[in-house]
Amino acid sequence: MIKNFKWLLLVSLTFVACNSDIDEGVIVEQEVPIVPGSADFSKFVALGNSLTAGFSDNALFIAGQTNAYPKLMADQFALAGGGEFKIPFMNDNTGGLLIGGSLYPNNGFLPRLVIDGFVNGSPNIKSLIQAPFNKLPTTETLNVVAGPFNNLGVPGAKSFHLLASGYGNPANLPAAANPYFIRMASSPTTSIIADALAQSPTFFSLWIGNNDVLGYALSGGTGVNQTGNVNPATYGGNDISDPGVFASVYETLINALTANGAKGVVANLPNVTSLPYFTTVPTNAVPGLPPANAAQLNQLFGGINQALTASGLPTRFSLLTADDGNAATVERNPLLIRDESLTNTAALITAVLTPSLGAPTATFLGSIYGQARHAVNDRAMPSTRDFIVLPARSIIGTAQPSIPAPFNAIGVSFPMQDSAALTATEALEIITATAAFNTSIKTIAEAKGLAFVDVNAILRQVASGGVRFNNFTMSSSFITGGAFGLDGVHVTARANSYIVNQFLMAINTTYGSTLRMYKPGDFPLIYPPSLQ
C-alpha cells in the first residue's frame, strides 16, 4: 500500500518542498525548483560604491571583486534565468592604481593591506607596497577596459555622482572625476546611471549613500556639514550631503531604473559608529602616567577647570591617574583631544596662567588648550561619546613636532587634532544625516514595491554582540571579529556572503523567488598576502 504525503520545510534559509513517497520505508526528498518568481534576472546591473565594487582591505582587487555581493547574487540569479554578469576586473590581486605609468598621487589608491606577522601579539598590518612584499600596482587608470559592465559599483562615489556626466572623464581629474569609473566608462562624457540604463536592465541593485557621510567621518569631521546647501557642485570630498539633495537624487535614480518595469533590491546605510575604524581605539587609551607627570598635568588642568567654572563654563578635564607600580593593575586615562565646537578659551587660560608662568608660556598654553578637553565614553550617555579614528592609534604618546616637552605628548599633554577624533557633536551630525538618508531610501523603495534590506540593523547587531552562524560568531571587533577587513571599514568576504543572504531573502520575500543561500563559513575571513 502506498501513501503520499506532501509538506513544506524551511531549511537553511531556503524554502524546500519534500515529496515523501513512503513505500517499504523509503523516503525521497526533492527541493523546490529555483524560480525567479515575478522578477526577471536576465539582465542584472548593480549600482553603488566601494561596497558594490568589492573593495576590501583598503583596495580593489580581483578576489574582492569576485566575492562582491552583486557577483554572488548574479551567481544565484544564473540558476533562475539570469544572464552574464560582467565585471571591470582589476589586473591582479595587488590592488592600487597607476596613472600614466606612475603611482597614483593619493594614498587612497595604494595596494591592499595585509598582515605581516605579529608585533607584541598584535597583527602587523602593511600595504603590499611595503617590504618585504614590494609590490607595485599594475592597473592603469587611463587604460579603458571594454564593457558594458553589469557591476557599476564605483569606489568613492557619492549619491549624486551616479548622475554626473563626465565622472569618467580623465580631463576632470582630480575633483570631478573618479579613476575607477574612468577605466570602465563607455565614454568620457557618460554617467554611471547612463551606462546602466543603456543595458536595459530587467533587475537592479542599488546601495548608495555611504560616502555622503563617510568622508566626513573618516577625516575626523574636517569637512563641512552641507545640510541646507542644495548645490552638490560646491561640496568638498569630506562633506556631508544635504538630506534633501540625497532624497532628490535617490528618487531620480529609482525612477530611471524602474521606468521600463525593472524590479530591484535596495539597501540602506549603516551608521559609521558600527565600524571598527571608529570603535577600536578606546577613548581612555592613555596608560597610567609617571607620578610626577600626572601631578604636573593635574595641577595644570585643575587650574584651567577652576577658571572655566568661575566663568560659568563646564569643566573640560579629568583627574589623571598615576601608575601605581603594580604590574597587575591597569590604569587608564582619557585621551586629550581638540574639539572645535567648544568656546575658545585661549584668552581666559592665558590670563589665569600668566601670574605663575609668565605671559609667553601662558599665551603658548592658551593656544594649545583653548579648545582642548578629555575624550568621553560614558555608557550611560551614549550621545556624548567621542570616537577615535583607527589610524590615530599609531600617534598616541608620540612627540608633536616643534612643541617643547612636557607639552608635546600627543593625546596626553598635547591634544589630538581634529582629524584624529570624531567628537560627539560631529558623530551626531553624521547619525542625523544617515537617519534622514535611510528614511528616504525606505520610503522611495516602498513606493516602488522594491525589495529592501536593512543593512543598518544588520551591522548594528554585528556591532552589539555579533551574529552567529555555522558555530561561528561574527562581530565588529577589529580583525578578530571576522566582519570587517584590515581597513576597519569594508566587510570581509565572509561578512559579505552573510549580507548577500539578506539581499536574497528580501528578493525571495518580495518577488516570490526561490533563490538559494550561501554558507558564510565557506568564505575567507582574511585574504593572505599571496593570492593567485
pLDDT-derived band of residue 12, with 50, 70 and 90 as boundaries? very low
Q: Is the pLDDT of residue 297 over 50?
A: yes
Residue 118 covered by a domain? no
Answer whether 339's CB lies under 8 Å from 427's CB: no
Using CA atoms, how far residue 363 sits from 350, 352, 408, in Å, is 5, 10, 16
What integer pLDDT is reported at residue 79 of this predicted model?
97
Same domain, 198 and 213: yes
The mean pLDDT of 66-81, rounded to a whole number, is 98
Residue 96 covered by a domain? no
Q: Is the pLDDT of residue 444 over 80?
A: yes
Residue 182 covered by a domain? yes
Same domain, 207 and 321: no
Q: Is the pLDDT of residue 438 over 60?
A: yes
Cα angle 179, 106, 151; round to 5? 30
Same domain, 369 and 498: no
What integer pLDDT is reported at residue 24 of this predicted model?
46
Q: Is the pLDDT of residue 4 over 80?
A: no
Same domain, 418 and 457: no
Residue 493 covered by a domain? yes
Residue 134 DSSP label: -
Q: Is the pLDDT of residue 22 over 80?
A: no
Same domain, 222 and 328: no
Same domain, 400 and 254: no
CA 247 to chain centre: 21
C-alpha cell at 512: 516570490
- CA separation for the pair 469, 27 (Å, rounded): 29
Its pTM surpasses 0.85: yes
- CA separation for the pair 355, 352 (Å, rounded): 7
pLDDT-derived band of residue 30, with 50, 70 and 90 as boundaries? low
Same domain, 460 and 431: yes
- Phi, psi angles (nearest 5°) of residue 156: 90, -10
Q: Judging by beta carbons within 10 Å of its beta carbon (0-12, 13-18, 19+), is residue 208 exposed, middle or buried? A: buried
Same domain, 316 and 205: no
Residue 483 DSSP label: S
C-alpha cell at 511: 518577488
Same domain, 162 and 81: yes
pLDDT-derived band of residue 293, with 50, 70 and 90 as boundaries? very high
What integer pLDDT is reported at residue 101 of this predicted model?
93
- CA separation for the pair 524, 517 (Å, rounded): 17
Per the structure, the complete domain to which residue 252 belongs is given by 44-87+151-279+425-522
Residue 195 covered by a domain? yes
- CA separation for the pair 92, 266 (Å, rounded): 30
Same domain, 471 and 408: no
Same domain, 350 and 216: no
Using the structure block, give the residue that is written with the C-alpha cell 554617467.
191
C-alpha cell at 527: 585574504
pLDDT in tens, 223-234: 999 999 999 999
Q: Is the pLDDT of residue 125 over 80?
A: yes
Q: Is the pLDDT of residue 503 over 70?
A: yes
Q: Which of 330, 429, 328, 314 is nearest to 376 (CA)?
A: 314
Residue 135 covered by a domain? no
Residue 62 covered by a domain? yes
Same domain, 338 and 466: no
Q: How many domains does the chain have?
A: 2
Higher pLDDT, 469 or 69: 69
Residue 402 covered by a domain? yes
What integer pLDDT is reported at residue 492 of this predicted model?
96
**Amino acid in the structure at residue 515:** L
- CA separation for the pair 358, 29 (Å, rounded): 88
The domain spanning residue 83 has which CATH number? 3.40.50.1110
What integer pLDDT is reported at residue 379 of this predicted model?
73
Using CA atoms, how far residue 269 sits from 54, 89, 430, in Å, is 16, 25, 11
